[in-house]
């Protein structure tokens, strides 16, 4: 009996060690779920399902800057503290989802949160408040992006190329919200040396990033240092969602796609 | 429209003051109306400052300092807005100020 107990303890200790060394594998999200953000500051507290925000659909139409600077969405889920009344007042989601605003291909954006709630409104609420519900989405990723350039990871779309080739034309200005500004003077690209020997260095393209982000999305909130190399970070921190990892790995192409950043030929 | 009417009222008050003497200018109603207009103009000031972020690299450090100071002066006016507007515009102003201060710092460190 004692022997059995000892063997059991040994097996338990070994398996504990194995698990501690290897960790648990993170499940990769489906292409259509990649980038989705769940917002739940107040929803469940007020008896509604949490909001599931589809990043891919919005990024196909708008720049990151438009929403994260001009509309004021925080870069972290639940960082904005959106209330229904904010949307009703025409801010945040309600900036566009007001039952009036139209865009190319969309006649009238549905209204997000309205003061008067009719029984028919239930379905409309479910379009956003959909966590845990089996809601049929109006837009299907595969269908919507059928003609978009493809990529291996993330949403399976090469968004950068899609923008560059004009397949998508993300809107960067909203009447009544955005401020008229002169065209952005694009800063120079620069290289960041890889810390591992044999790994190609990174060529950081300011041009590619400013198309989507302008200046304020990244500076100084994400990249604080003003001189090249002043902000020190490692791949571990990036995988942990800091620095480049604020976007890459959550919405922009994931960090698994090494060669999209490490592009400088090794001499 | 509301702003236009207030501006007109102030212009009229000034004209009447010139005609009938200073007392009208120092009256409570006039001061309150002027303060209202100043508060209403927060958005013009906000847009003027934050329209400069894209070409902030072209400004001198003194110009950037002045823009940062204007952001600081605008903040208390935005804090008087309703809850939603306050939340949105304080964040937008902060982003704007942070970027201008960031560029200013980079210029000073050069």
DSSP secondary structure string, A174-219? -TTTS---PPPPPPPPEEE--SSTTSPPEEE-HHHHHHHHTTTTTT
Residue A127 lies in a domain: yes
| B88 has a chain A CB within 8 A of its CB | yes
Question: How many domains are there within chain A?
Answer: 2
Looking at residue B1, what is its pLDDT?
45
Residue A160 lies in a domain: no
Query: How large is the average pLDDT for residues A10-22?
Result: 65
Q: Which comes out higher in pLDDT, residue B93 or B11?
A: B93
Residues A46 and A129 grouped into a single domain: yes
**What is the spatial distance between Cα A255 and Cα A99, in angstroms, rounded to a whole number?**
38
Closest CA of chain A from B83, distance in Å: 9
**What is the spatial distance between Cα A180 and Cα B98, in angstroms, rounded to a whole number?**
19
Nearest Cα residue to B58 out of B23, B97, B107, B93: B107
Give the structural domain span for A51: 37-144
Residues A127 and A78 grouped into a single domain: yes
Residues A198 and A249 grouped into a single domain: yes
Residues A46 and A130 grouped into a single domain: yes
Nearest Cα residue to B58 out of A211, A183, A185, A228: A185
Interface with chain B: mutation pick from A67, A70, A71, A216, highest number of B CBs within 10 Å = A216
Residue A62 lies in a domain: yes
pLDDT digits (tens, 9 = 90+) for A105-134: 888 999 999 877 787 777 889 999 999 999
* Average pLDDT over chain A, rounded to an integer: 90
Confidence tier at B10 by pLDDT (50, 70, 90): low
Residues A126 and A209 grouped into a single domain: no
Q: Which comes out higher in pLDDT, residue A228 or A95?
A: A95
pLDDT digits (tens, 9 = 90+) for B28-85: 555 555 656 666 799 999 999 999 999 999 999 999 999 999 999 999 999 999 999 9
pTM for the whole structure: 0.83
ipTM of the complex: 0.85
pLDDT digits (tens, 9 = 90+) for A140-153: 999 999 999 999 99
Residues A121 and A207 grouped into a single domain: no
Residues A138 and A80 grouped into a single domain: yes
Residue with tokens 């100071």: B69
Looking at residue B34, what is its pLDDT?
60
Nearest Cα residue to B12 out of B26, B28, B30, B27: B30
Looking at residue B5, what is its pLDDT?
55
**What is the spatial distance between Cα B66 and Cα B72, in angstroms, rounded to a whole number?**
10
Residue A122 lies in a domain: yes
Closest CA of chain A from B53, distance in Å: 8
Tokens in use for B42?
A: 């927060």
Residue A66 lies in a domain: yes
Residue A204 lies in a domain: yes
Looking at residue A130, what is its pLDDT?
96
Looking at residue A266, what is its pLDDT?
83
Closest residue of chain B to A66, computed from CA coordinates:
B92
Residues 6+ apart with CB under 8 A from A79: none
**What is the spatial distance between Cα A155 and Cα B47, in angstroms, rounded to a whole number?**
36
- Residue A25 phi/psi, 5-degree rounding, is -75, 130
Confidence tier at A19 by pLDDT (50, 70, 90): low
Q: Do B87 and A81 touch (CB under 8 A)?
A: yes
Summary count for chain B: helices (H), strands (E):
5, 0
Quick check: A177 pLDDT over 80?
yes
Confidence tier at B13 by pLDDT (50, 70, 90): low
Residue A238 lies in a domain: yes
Q: How many CB atoms lie within 10 A of CB A74?
A: 13
The enclosing domain of A201 has a CATH number of 3.90.10.10
Query: How large is the average pLDDT for residues A188-214?
Result: 90
Q: Are A189 and A206 in contact (CB under 8 A)?
A: yes
Looking at residue A240, what is its pLDDT?
95
Residue A94 lies in a domain: yes
Q: Which comes out higher in pLDDT, residue B11 or A200?
A: A200
| B108 has a chain A CB within 8 A of its CB | no
% of chain A residues with pLDDT over 90: 70
| A185 has a chain B CB within 8 A of its CB | yes
Residues A110 and A194 grouped into a single domain: no
Beta bridge partners of A157: A150
Q: Are A203 and A55 in contact (CB under 8 A)?
A: no
Q: Do A185 and B92 touch (CB under 8 A)?
A: no
For A184, the closest of B54, B95, B109 (CB atoms) is B54
For B99, the closest of A83, A183, A215 (CB atoms) is A215
All residues of chain B having their beta carbon less than 8 Å from the beta carbon of residue A89 are 82, 84-85
Quick check: B2 pLDDT over 50?
no
């Amino acid at each position: 009996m004692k022997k059995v107990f000892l063997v059991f303890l040994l097996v338990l200790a070994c398996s504990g060690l194995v698990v501690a060394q290897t960790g648990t594998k993170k499940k990769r999200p489906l292409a259509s779920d990649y980038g989705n953000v769940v917002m739940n500051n107040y929803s469940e507290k007020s008896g509604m399902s949490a909001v599931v925000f589809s990043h891919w659909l919005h990024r196909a139409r708008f720049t990151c800057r438009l929403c994260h600077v001009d509309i004021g969405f925080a870069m972290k889920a639940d960082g904005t503290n959106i209330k229904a009344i904010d949307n009703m007042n025409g801010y945040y989601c309600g900036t566009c989802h007001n039952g009036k605003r139209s865009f190319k291909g969309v006649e009238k954006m549905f209204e997000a949160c309205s003061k008067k709630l009719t029984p028919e409104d239930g379905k409309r609420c479910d379009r956003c408040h959909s966590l845990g519900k089996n809601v049929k989405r109006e837009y299907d990723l595969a269908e919507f992006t059928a003609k978009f350039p493809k990529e291996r990871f993330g949403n399976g779309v090469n968004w950068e190329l899609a923008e560059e080739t004009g397949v998508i034309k993300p809107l960067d200005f909203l009447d009544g919200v955005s401020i008229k500004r002169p065209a952005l003077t694009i800063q120079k690209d620069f290289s960041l040396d890889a810390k591992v020997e044999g790994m190609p260095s990174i060529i950081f393209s300011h041009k590619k990033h400013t198309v989507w982000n302008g200046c304020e999305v990244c500076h100084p909130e994400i990249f604080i240092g003003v001189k090249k190399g002043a902000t020190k970070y490692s791949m571990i921190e990036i995988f942990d969602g800091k620095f480049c990892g604020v976007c890459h790995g959550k919405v922009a192409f994931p960090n698994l796609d090494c060669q999209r950043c490490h592009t400088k030929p090794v001499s | 429209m509301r702003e236009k009417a207030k501006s007109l009222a102030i212009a009229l008050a000034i004209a009447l003051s010139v005609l009938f003497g200073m007392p009208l200018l120092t009256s409570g109603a006039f001061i309150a109306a002027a303060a209202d207009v100043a508060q209403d103009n927060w958005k013009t000031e906000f847009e003027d400052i934050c329209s400069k972020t894209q070409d902030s690299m072209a400004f001198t450090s003194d110009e950037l300092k002045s823009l940062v100071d204007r952001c600081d002066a605008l903040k208390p006016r935005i804090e008087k807005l309703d809850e939603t507007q306050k939340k949105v515009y304080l964040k937008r102003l902060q982003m704007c100020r942070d970027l201008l201060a960031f560029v200013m710092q980079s210029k000073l460190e050069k």
